[in-house]
Structure 1
Amino acid sequence: MSDQPQGSRLFSRGSWLETSRTAEVLRAETTGGLLLIVAAVVALVWANSPWHASYADLRDLVVGPEALHLDLSLGAWAADGLLAIFFFVAGLELKREFVAGDLRDPRRAVLPVVAAVAGMVVPALVYVAINLGSDDLVGWAIPTATDIAFALAILAVINTHLPSGLRTFLLALAVVDDLLAITVIAVFYTDDLHLLWLAAAAVPIAAFAALARRDHGAWLLVPLGLVAWTFVHSSGVHATVAGVLLGFMIPVRRAHAVEHVVRPISAGVAVPLFAFFSAGVYVGGLDGLIEAETDPIAVGIVVGLVLGKTVGITGATWLLARFTRADLDDDLAWADVLGMSMLAGVGFTVSLLISELAFGAGTTAEEHAKVGVLTGSLLAALLAAVVLRSRNRAYRRICELEERDDDGDGIPDVFQRGDGTR
């Protein structure tokens, strides 16, 4: 290995604690990603079968108390309610990563932060360039998201053994991407803001924060969270923002325990159900598919996800290496950066959500946008699979090295120095 300082190596290994935790998180997300894919396929098949009307009836079934303005369709409950759980986990991840994780070190945080920003800006510019002069520019944010669960499911299917440095980067990229996505949703896709309801939401959120720091009364966190979610929903801000805010309120010392309980619900129930209610786009046969795919909305999304993400993340990484004189880790090559950048083009969950927010549920523009999301995510996944699969022999060798524990102390030797773990 080179004697170059660890901080000047791109995609270098983090600490053993961070690496082992990352592996645990990614295993849970992989399982959820597989369920997500199954749910999306079932929805697509049902929505385009002779019984497609029954799928639409189920998705549009309204339930909930009208007095509280919560008489929502099942599809809306999935987008506003279930995805709040997903973003609650994202909030936990964000706080833990930037307070106690490897990303608290600016030298390690700079790569995923810069890559995530470039990976959102370039796809947005691509979409705008293709749709310039039309009334559809509102969909600019659709190709900016990365779906970690879907991406990991693809890796599981192709049996790619990513080295720990790439795994940590992928998770950190997704965490920063989630922060940027929820900021975009809150700022650009909020209509009819009601400040009184937003101020009211601060009360249960503050109570949630105070109670989360105590060792007793944890059972009250759920009802407080529900009240906060209701008030944020009534304020006009998308209710998923409440999930992130509540996640931020959990102390770092308790975040892992809370995440251990909530993540399986998010990955195994909330996100797959959202995918089921959101991905069921009625195409209308080959003619309908051609019409949707040739719509500039869909073209902008596909090119943004496939090309924009790849150019943005790879380009940002190259510029960072060029101007900081930082080299890739010795075991890795630029093909790995290219493959990871392509994998980040799997937008899916958040892209589907933004499609609904941008164009309105049930509109032709929204349906075409969702076709673009599904097509772009699938194409990005296939291209990434080809590139990463071609590097699998090298990945296996690195993984064997990272699992070797000759002294039998439970910590792989590569994560140790003379005085303990790194």
Structure 2
Amino acid sequence: MEAENKKGFLAIFKKITQSESFAGVLLLCCAILAMIVANSPLGEAYAQLWKTKFGFSVNGHFIGMSLEHWINDVLMAFFFLVVGLEIKREVLFGELAGFKRAALPIIAALGGMIGPGIIYYALNVGTDSVTGFGIPMATDIAFALGVLAILGKRVSISVKVFLVSLAVADDLGAIIVIALFYSTGVSLEWLAVAAGIIVVLVILGKMGVKALTPYMLLGVFLWIAVHNCGVHATIAAVMLAFTIPVAPKIDTLSFMDKLKTIVSHFQEAETKKDGILLQNEQVEALHHLSKEKNAVQNPLLRLEHALAPYSNYLIMPIFAFANAGVAIGSNIDFSIDHVFLGILLGLVVGKPIGIFTFTFVAEKLGIAARPNGASWMDIFGAGALGGIGFTMSIFVTNLAFDVNSAHGLVATDVAKITILVASLTAGILGSIFFIIRGKLSHH
């Protein structure tokens, strides 16, 4: 009975973790837990934990970073690698492949970045907080997918595809914003080293190298070069993703021929088998099958599928727990410039208006067309859900303000609280919009 209960529990747990909404729910839980811990008696220990240095000394010279930087610069590099792989996949095979298919989500994403950016900038121009204009520009794809999964059939497939492809295009936009506006004192020497490594990666691809190990090893050196050149190190992960080869080592027809040969050898050895143990020839056949299985797979998809679970269920939750915890006390000044209003209005108002306006104009000019079956109400609702910023917004917050200054510290804390409030508000409003729209459409 106990074994059956355990098996049933594991089956339920597996079903929950494989659902589209789980990553978003886990992310939200980690953010809320961080806020609870930061405002509990453990708050001081929580704050000090992320400042703890991890590394090693060589001849008295310390090589390493604080735990906060290990998470935000190193762990998040894997998150950005997955984002880069998703963007490349969508551009080559998905909803961003070809001008006609890519035009609408890219234009919508552009509107969804410009709208919030203008609102934030207009409210904070002339203040020290104006550097935060990039914070409300991003859409959190994990959260958005989670809300879509909860809404279920109330949102049509065409709208889901539109929002997901918009979020992917939005990620590319956020990466460009980080590279252009949140880089400091670029070192030309290290930039040249980074460019040289990228050239080597491209050459590997041209030579037909399909094994992922050389790319990943060079990716480590690319991260070091970019980290030292002044551009944020996570950009290195995106550049690496763009160089990962797409074509498999062998085509499917060759794989099928080899599969037939392997199965034939396996069957021949079966006739000689004595007992339950596999023959040496059968073990060897299984080994060959494993090799050929990897050879026929697209290297880009293989790497994305290998890393995505770690990114969604480990890296992003750790990032959320490490960065979302803000101690709410006398140090929090919501009236500092217009950081609170800029982010809140940017995500909740600027996103849907920007996405809707740019999409509407693009269709009227004949540049792009709405997905089949998607009404203008659907586009506005998708824009409302696009206001769920969270992960990328918090990431940009860490780059936007100088945490070594009193103003920067307060602005960062206010921004993080506002991102959480605005993302929840956008998610709730977007959900209510689709629920009401679904009920009205049935009357």
**CA shift at 1:214, angstroms?**
4.5
Q: Distance in 1 between matches of 2:131 and 2:62?
A: 26
Q: Distance in 2 between matches of 1:156 and 1:216?
A: 35
Among 39, 48, 61, which residue is 2:39 paired with? 48
1:119 is aligned to 112
**Superimposed CA distance per residue, residues 187-216 of structure 1 (whole angstroms, 9 cap, x where no aligned partner):** 111112112122222344344444466466
- In the alignment, the residues of structure 1 paired with residue 187 and residue 177 of structure 2 have an alpha-carbon distance, to the nearest angstrom, of 18
Change (3 A) 1:28 1:157: closer
Matches within 5 A, 1:13-32: 30-32=21-23
Which sits farther off after the overlay, 173-182 or 294-303? 294-303
Residue 138 of structure 2 corresponds to residue 145 of structure 1: yes
Indicate the percent of aligned positions where both proteins have the same amino acid. 39
1:60 maps to 2:51: yes
The alpha-carbon distance between structure 1 residues 307 and 46, as it changes in their structure 2 partners (threshold 3 A), is same
Among 295, 309, 315, the residue aligned to 2:357: 315
1:168 — aligned with what? 161
Which amino acid in 1 is paired with 2:40? S
Q: Which residue of 2 aligns with 1:352?
A: 394
Q: Which has the larger radius of gyration?
A: 2
**Helix, strand or coil: the match of 1:71?**
strand
Which amino acid is 2:345 matched to?
V
Unpaired runs of 5+ residues, structure 2, are 1-17, 248-298
Shift in Å at residue 277 of structure 1? 0.7
- The alpha-carbon distance between structure 1 residues 294 and 28, as it changes in their structure 2 partners (threshold 3 A), is farther
From 89, 98, 102, give the equivalent of 1:105.
Answer: 98
Q: SS of the residue aligned with 2:96?
A: helix
- 1:14-67 Cα deviation digits (max 9, x unpaired): xxxxxxxxxxxxx77643222211211111110111210111111111112466
Q: Give the partner amino acid of 2:243.
A: M
Q: Look up the equivalent residue of 1:366 and give its one-letter code.
A: T
Q: Judge conservation of contact 1:131–1:297 (CA < 8 Å) in 2.
A: yes
Relative to structure 1, is the Cα distance of residues 136 and 69 closer, same or farther in structure 2, using a 3 angstrom cutoff? farther
In 2, are the aligned partners of 1:335 and 1:387 still within 8 Å (CA)?
no
In the alignment, what sits opposite 1:205?
198
**1:240 corresponds to which letter in structure 2?**
T
In structure 1, the residue matched to 2:78 is 85
How do 1:221-260 and structure 2 match up within 5 A?
A: 221-253=215-247, 254-260=299-305
Report the AA paired with residue 140 of structure 1: F
Aligned residue number for residue 282 of structure 1:
327
Question: Aligned equivalents of 1:300 and 1:241: distance in 2?
Answer: 26
- The letter of the residue matching 1:370 is K
Deviates more, 1:95-104 or 1:114-123: 95-104
Identify the residue that residue 306 of structure 2 maps to in structure 1: 261
Supply the distance in 1 between the matched residues of 2:172 and 2:62 (Cα, whole angstroms). Answer: 28
Alpha-carbon shift at residue 159 of structure 1 (Å)? 4.3
2:258 paired residue number = none
Corresponding position of 1:342? 384
Distance 1:325 1:239, change over 3 A: closer
Aligned-partner residue type, residue 320 of structure 1: A
Tell me which residue corresponds to 1:17.
none
Could you tell me which residue of structure 2 aligns to residue 376 of structure 1?
A: 422
How many correspondences in the alignment?
A: 368
Q: Give 3-state SS (helix, strand or coil) of 1:331's partner.
A: coil
Q: Say whether the 8 Å CA contact 2:384–2:427 is kept in structure 1.
A: yes
- Give yes or no for contact 2:35–2:327 (8 Å, CA) kept in 1: yes
Query: Is 2:432 aligned against 1:386?
Result: yes
Contact 2:132 2:400 (8 Å CA) reproduced: yes
- C-alpha distance in 1 between matches for 2:402 and 2:441: 43
Task: Tell me the CA shift for residue 279 of structure 1.
Answer: 0.6
AA paired with 1:368?
A: V
**CA RMSD across the alignment:** 2.7
Determine the C-alpha separation between the residues in 2 that align with 1:395 and 1:276.
40
The alignment partner of 1:314 has SS state of helix
Q: Which runs of 5+ in 1 are unaligned?
A: 1-26, 397-422
Could you say what secondary structure the match of 2:166 adopts? helix
TM-score by length of 1: 0.80
Counterpart position of 2:346: 304
8 Å contact kept, 2:124–2:337: no
Query: Equivalents in 2 of 1:188, 1:96: separation in Å?
Result: 26
In 1: Cα distance, 2:230 partner to 2:370 partner? 45
CA shift in 2, pair 1:109/1:277, >3 Å: same
What is the rounded CA distance, in whole Å, between the counterparts of 1:235 and 1:329 in structure 2?
Answer: 42
1:52-93: CA deviation from partner (whole Å, max 9, x where unpaired): 011111111111246698522212221111221111112112
Is this contact kept in 1: 2:137–2:393, CA < 8 A? yes
Distance 1:160 1:79 in 2: 36
> How far has the Cα of 1:330 moved from its partner?
5.9
How far is 1:288 from its partner? 6.1
Hey, what does 2:25 align to over in structure 1?
A: 34
CA distance in 2, matches of 1:255, 1:333: 34
Q: Which amino acid aligns with 1:195?
A: L
- Mapped to 1, the partners of 2:153 and 2:328 lie a distance apart of 33
Question: What is the Cα deviation at residue 106 of structure 1?
Answer: 1.2
Letter in 1 for 2:76: L
Preserved contact between residue 293 and residue 368 of structure 1 (Cα < 8 Å): no
Q: TM-score, normalised by structure 2?
A: 0.76
2:184 is matched with which residue?
Answer: 191
Deviates more, 1:85-94 or 1:160-169: 160-169
How many Å apart are 1:303 and its aligned residue? 0.6
